[in-house]
C-alpha cells in the first residue's frame, strides 16, 4: 500500500512539471500604456512595472490575449514575464542548485536590461493621428517631432529619426537602453521607443509650456522676469551636470541651445534632445563628427579640432546664460556683430572688473533683479565662454555658483574672470586646437544639414505649437 501511494505522488509531480512553460526567445512584444505612466501621470519607478512585455506565444499554458477593440485602441497585454534581473542575478539564478531546472537564455531585450516600453508603428500612428501635420511640433537635424496621446490620455512627443543614420538594430537598442536609465527632474524623460525596419522612433514625455527660445525671443511675448530666468539657468545647469558627471558613461549633449530647454507649467527647465547625443566612455573622452550643433553656440575649439567634450557643452551653456542675461539672440543676423559672445566679451571684462552690469543686462528687466544672483550669472557666463576649454568650469561648479553656495573664486581655477587673456578673442593657443577662421566656420556651419535654429528653419522640439 505504501509503495502504491509513493508511486502516485511521483506521477503527479511529473505531470505538474510538464505543464511549466519556459520563456522563449522572441523579439516581438506588445506593450500596455500602464507601463509608461502610473496613475498620477508620472513615470513609474517600479522596475517590475516597466519591464518589456512579451506576446502570449512566449509562455506555455497561457490563455490568448484579448482582441483589439477598435482601430485606435491597443490590445490588452498578457501577464508580464518574470522580473528582469541584473546579470549577476541571472547568473546566480541559472545555477541555483540541483533542485532547480536550468533556465533558457534570456530575451535580447532582457539581456540589455530594458526598462522602457516598446511601441509598434501602428501604436504611434494611432497616438499621433497618423503623424498628422496638425500634430507636428517641430523638426531638427535628426528628424520630425509629433505630439501624441496614449489610450490612457497621457500626452507624448514622438521623434521620428532620419533613416540614414547607418546604425544597426542592436546598436540602436543599446543606445536606447543607456538613455532609458537617465532620470532627472530637469531632463525630458524617454518613455518608450519603436524600431520597425529602418524606421526608428523615440517616445518622450510631452512638456507643454514651450521652449526657452520661444519665451525669450518669441514675437509679442511678455518679458521674462529675472527670478524665472535664474530658475531656468539653475535647473538646466543641474540637468547638464547630471549628464556629464553622474551618468556612466557620461553623456555629451552636443547641441545645447535655448530651443532645447523645455519649460513646464511652473517654468522649470527640462533639457531635451540629449537622447540623441553621442556617448563618451572613460577611454574615449571626445567625439569627432561632421559639423553638429548650432552656430552661435559652438565652442571655438570645435572649429579647428572637430572634437566635442563636456567643456564644449559648458561653452554652449555659457552662450545660453548670456541670452538669459541680455535678452539677445546668439546670432545677430541683421547687425554687424557675428555672435552674442563677440559682442559680450568686452562688456563682460568691464562688468567683472568694475561691477557695472547696466550695459549687459536686458533692458526689459527695468532694473528689477537680485544683484547677487545677477553677479553669479554673469560670472558663470564669463567663465563658461573662455577660449581655453581647460579653463572652463565643470557644470557642477556652475550649479554651486548659481546656488551661491561657494565663492566665485571656485570658477576661477584658470584665471581671473575679468582678465583679458581668458575672455579676449586673441591668441590661438587659447583655443586648445590652433587658430581658426570664425567667418569660414560660420559659413560651413550654416550650410550643414544638421544646422537649425528658429532663424534658419524650425527647431522646436517636443513643444506645444504656436496658437
Domain ranges of the chain: 121-205, 212-447
Cβ–Cβ under 8 Å, residues 129 and 149: no
> Was 159 annotated as part of a binding site?
yes
Among the listed residues 192, 221, 215, the one whose alpha carbon sits nearest the alpha carbon of residue 205: 192
pLDDT single digits (tens) 13-29: 554 444 433 323 333 33
212-447: CATH topology: Transferase(Phosphotransferase); domain 1 (1.10.510)
Residue 147 β-bridge partners: 157
Q: Which three cell numbers stand for residue 267?
A: 517654468
Give kind and range of the element (H or E) at residue 140. Answer: strand 136-140
Please state which architecture CATH assigns to domain 121-205.
2-Layer Sandwich (3.30)
pLDDT score, position 440: 52
Torsion, Cα 265 213 37 246, to 10 degrees, reads: -110
pLDDT single digits (tens) 320-376: 999 999 999 999 776 665 789 999 999 998 887 777 888 999 999 999 999 999 999
The DSSP result for 54-102, as a single string, is: --GGGSTT-PPPPPP-STTSPPPPPPP-SPP--HHHHHHHHTS-TTSPP
Contacts of residue 313, Cβ cutoff 8 Å, sequence gap at least 6? 240, 244, 252, 253, 254, 256, 395
pLDDT single digits (tens) 269-325: 999 988 675 433 344 445 544 456 788 999 999 888 888 899 999 999 999 999 999
SS3 state at 203 = strand
Q: Which three cell numbers stand for residue 131?
A: 503623424
**0.75 exceeded by the pTM?**
no
Residue 148 β-bridge partners: 156
SS3 state at 399 = helix
pLDDT single digits (tens) 225-239: 999 999 999 999 999
Q: What are the catalytic residues?
A: 255
pLDDT score, position 159: 93
pLDDT score, position 277: 53
Amino acid at each position: 500500500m505504501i509503495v502504491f501511494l509513493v508511486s502516485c505522488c511521483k506521477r503527479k509531480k511529473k505531470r505538474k512539471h510538464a505543464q511549466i512553460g519556459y520563456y522563449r526567445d522572441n523579439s516581438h512584444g506588445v506593450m500596455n500604456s500602464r507601463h509608461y505612466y502610473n496613475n498620477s501621470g508620472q513615470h513609474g519607478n517600479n522596475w517590475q512595472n516597466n519591464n518589456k512585455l512579451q506576446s502570449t506565444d512566449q509562455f506555455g499554458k497561457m490563455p490568448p490575449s484579448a482582441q483589439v477593440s477598435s482601430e485606435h485602441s491597443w490590445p490588452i497585454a498578457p501577464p508580464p514575464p518574470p522580473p528582469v534581473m541584473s546579470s549577476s542575478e541571472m547568473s546566480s539564478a541559472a545555477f541555483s542548485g540541483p533542485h532547480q531546472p536550468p533556465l533558457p537564455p534570456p530575451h535580447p531585450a532582457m539581456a540589455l536590461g530594458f526598462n522602457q516600453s516598446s511601441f509598434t508603428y501602428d501604436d504611434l500612428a494611432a497616438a499621433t493621428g497618423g503623424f498628422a501635420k496638425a500634430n507636428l511640433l517641430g523638426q531638427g537635424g535628426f528628424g520630425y517631432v509629433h505630439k501624441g496621446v496614449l489610450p490612457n490620455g497621457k500626452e507624448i512627443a514622438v521623434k521620428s529619426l532620419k533613416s540614414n543614420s547607418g546604425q544597426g538594430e542592436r546598436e540602436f537598442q543599446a543606445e536606447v537602453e543607456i538613455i532609458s536609465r537617465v532620470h532627472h527632474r530637469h531632463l525630458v524623460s524617454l518613455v518608450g521607443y519603436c524600431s520597425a525596419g529602418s524606421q526608428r522612433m523615440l517616445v518622450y514625455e510631452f512638456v507643454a509650456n514651450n521652449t526657452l527660445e520661444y519665451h525669450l525671443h518669441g514675437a509679442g511675448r511678455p518679458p521674462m522676469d529675472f527670478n524665472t530666468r535664474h530658475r531656468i539657468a539653475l535647473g538646466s545647469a543641474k540637468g547638464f551636470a547630471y549628464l556629464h558627471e553622474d551618468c556612466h558613461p557620461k553623456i555629451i549633449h552636443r547641441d545645447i541651445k535655448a530651443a532645447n530647454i523645455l519649460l513646464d507649467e511652473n517654468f522649470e527647465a527640462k533639457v531635451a534632445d540629449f537622447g540623441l547625443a553621442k556617448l563618451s566612455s572613460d577611454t574615449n573622452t571626445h567625439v569627432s563628427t561632421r559639423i553638429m550643433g548650432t552656430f552661435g553656440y559652438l565652442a571655438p575649439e570645435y572649429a579647428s579640432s572637430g572634437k566635442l567634450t563636456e567643456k564644449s557643452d559648458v561653452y554652449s551653456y555659457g552662450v545660453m546664460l548670456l541670452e538669459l542675461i541680455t535678452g539677445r539672440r546668439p546670432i545677430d543676423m541683421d547687425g554687424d556683430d557675428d555672435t552674442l559672445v563677440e559682442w559680450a566679451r568686452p562688456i563682460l571684462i568691464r562688468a567683472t572688473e568694475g561691477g557695472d552690469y547696466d550695459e549687459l543686462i536686458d533692458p526689459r528687466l527695468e532694473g528689477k533683479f537680485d544683484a547677487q544672483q545677477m553677479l553669479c550669472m554673469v560670472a558663470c557666463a564669463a567663465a563658461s565662454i573662455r577660449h581655453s576649454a581647460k579653463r572652463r568650469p565643470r557644470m557642477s561648479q556652475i550649479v554651486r555658483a548659481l546656488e551661491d553656495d561657494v565663492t566665485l573664486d571656485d570658477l576661477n581655477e584658470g584665471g581671473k574672470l575679468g582678465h583679458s587673456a581668458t575672455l579676449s578673442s586673441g591668441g590661438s593657443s587659447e583655443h586648445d586646437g590652433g587658430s581658426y577662421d570664425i567667418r569660414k566656420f560660420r559659413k560651413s556651419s550654416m550650410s550643414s544639414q544638421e544646422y537649425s535654429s528658429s532663424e534658419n528653419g524650425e527647431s522646436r522640439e517636443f513643444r506645444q505649437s504656436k496658437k
